[in-house]
Amino acid sequence: MSDQSVSTSIGDNLPPPQIGWLRRKLYKSETFRGVTLLSPTILFMAFAILIPFSILITMSFWTQSGFTFDTTFTTANYQTATERPIYWALLKRSLWISGITTVVTVLLCYPMAYYVAFHVHRNKMMWIVLMTLPFWTSYLLRVFAWKVVLGYEGVINSALISIGFIDAPLEFLLYSQSAVIITLAHAWAAFAILPLYVSLEKIDRSLLEAATDLGDGPVMRFFRITLPLSLPGVISASLLIFIPTTGDYITPTLLGGPDGSMIGMLIQKQFGAINNWPMGAALSIILMLCIAAISAIFIILTMFVRKRIS
């Protein structure tokens, strides 16, 4: 047994069969192997992201004429978008709704992530799975569930009526901004919890002990140690919710009504009923620029605050 293993290891030390110099060099190069392994993914993503986006940008400078595109370069779409008050109103409202949703979600999820990070000691994994499980399942159906709950004759209204609490259905529940915010916050909770949890879990517990030993109470300890150290998690949670919800289409369509309609619906309409693809492209670009600008401001602000705290 041991003889065998010795002989094989000796056999290994023999010079390897001659292969081309370049091939051997490349084979040994870690970078080359890594890049080779990663290249199919990168190529696919480049093809599926960069090319469509460059065409989208190009198209936003075209105009629709009948069923074809006029491909002469013009900024007419952007001018129209800034001039028509309805577009601005929709954009502002989308950013507003997403902003509120972000604040609500992060505030509601923080204690939950805190609880799992600091107070759950057994079956932590079970808690994480439980909190993120709904996120993996159909977004459409979760939004649909809220329609059932908030509906004019839905769960809340009919339950309140049948126990005699109210006489007529509460109308503000469905087709309103609050309905959209509730649904979005519920649907994206997992996106907030994970980064919050990870940043809280990473905090060195001895820092908390040190703070306590030096005389900080629980509240001071939280604001001086836990919160500043978990700020990276708060930042990523906020961005992870704010960015995708701004362009959301399903929730405002199913639950928004006239008050809760958002820019995503307008973009969809440009590619559907209105059939003005270049305008839709321009609106998509404007939306992305707004998101990028707000995210950048947000990141810079939080960095600034963090520096002031620590």
Q: What's the closest the beta carbon of residue 28 comes to other proteins, in angstroms?
A: 11
Q: Which of 188, 182, 175 lies closest to 252, judged by CA?
A: 175
Nearer to other proteins, 177 or 208 (CB): 208
Nearer to other proteins, 22 or 308 (CB): 22
Q: Which of 242, 279, 243, 246 lies closest to 263, judged by CA?
A: 246
Q: What are the backbone angles phi and psi of residue 124, rounded to the nearest 5°? A: -55, -45
Nearer to other proteins, 80 or 268 (CB): 268
Q: Which residues of 250-285 are buried (b: 16+ CB within 10 A; e: fewer)?
A: bbbbbbbeeebbbbbbbbeebeeeeebbbbbbbbbb
CA-atom Rg of the chain in angstroms: 27
Report angle CA 23, 24, 25 to the nearest 5 degrees: 90
User: What residue has token string 């309103």?
Assistant: 176
Q: What's the closest the beta carbon of residue 288 comes to other proteins, in angstroms?
A: 6
Q: What's the closest the beta carbon of residue 308 comes to other proteins, in angstroms?
A: 26
Exposed, middle or buried: residue 129 (CB in 10 Å: 0-12, 13-18, 19+)? exposed
C-alpha–C-alpha distance, residues 297 and 285, integer Å: 18
Nearer to other proteins, 133 or 297 (CB): 133
Nearer to other proteins, 234 or 287 (CB): 287
Give the single-character DSSP code of 222: I
Q: What's the closest the beta carbon of residue 29 comes to other proteins, in angstroms?
A: 9
Q: Which of 227, 278, 216 lies closest to 113, judged by CA?
A: 227
Nearer to other proteins, 41 or 308 (CB): 41
Nearer to other proteins, 8 or 310 (CB): 8
106, 241 contact by CB (below 8 A): yes
Q: What's the closest the beta carbon of residue 166 comes to other proteins, in angstroms?
A: 13
Q: What's the closest the beta carbon of residue 30 comes to other proteins, in angstroms?
A: 5
